[in-house]
């Protein structure tokens, strides 16, 4: 399949999911060596899961199929430029290339405006719109110290 065909599949998943009442108009495929290894569409409203965006569901499917948590040899095709959460998931999955159809400006024009998140991320925690307060730092740090000393950990 060509890059255009992979993008058409992502767009089709967006359309199918939207028309099927599963969520917003977003679809995604993860491709490895010319083969689709993960498909996803937005399922936020049908699963009551605010993290069930198309990219996240496709990454989860690809990782399950390939039995790995890193997709370093994959490409991601998404019907829309990824939101901040999905972009972070793409980075965590180590996907080196992303192709997208619609832009975040296109998404904002139909009610999916993530600009406030982009504005909040660089702010120090105490300046964000969501109240963020440190609590039990010393107790929480013991687990981090245990991790640092753990000899059989799997780094990711």
Out of 9, 15, 35, 55, which one is annotated catalytic?
A: 55
Kindly state the tokens that stand for 119: 């504005």
Verify whether residue 55 is a known catalytic residue. Answer: yes
Is there a contact between 42 and 23 (Cβ–Cβ < 8 Å)?
A: yes
> What b/e sequence results for 36-75 when a residue is b if at least 16 CB atoms lie within 10 Å of its CB, and e otherwise?
bbbbbbbbbeeeeeeebbbbbbbbbbbbeebeeeebeebb
For the chain, give the number of residues. Answer: 156
Distance of CA 112 to the CA centre of its chain: 15
> Among 54, 59, 52, which Cα is nearest to 38's?
59
Q: Catalytic residue positions?
A: 55
């Amino acid at each position: 399949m060509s890059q255009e065909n992979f993008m058409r599949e992502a767009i089709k998943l967006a359309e199918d999911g939207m028309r099927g009442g599963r969520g917003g108009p977003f679809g995604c495929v993860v491709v490895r060596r010319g083969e689709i290894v993960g498909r996803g569409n937005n399922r936020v409203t049908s699963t009551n899961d605010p993290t069930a965006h198309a990219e996240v569901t496709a990454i989860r499917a690809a990782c399950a199929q390939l039995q790995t948590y890193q997709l370093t040899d994959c490409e991601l095709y998404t019907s829309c430029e990824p939101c901040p959460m999905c972009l972070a998931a793409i980075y965590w999955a180590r996907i080196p290339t992303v192709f997208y159809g619609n832009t975040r400006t296109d998404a904002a024009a139909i009610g999916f405006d993530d600009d406030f998140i982009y504005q909040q991320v660089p702010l120090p925690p105490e300046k964000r719109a969501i109240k963020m307060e440190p609590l039990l730092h010393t107790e929480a740090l013991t687990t981090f110290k245990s991790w640092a000393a753990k000899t059989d950990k799997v780094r990711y």
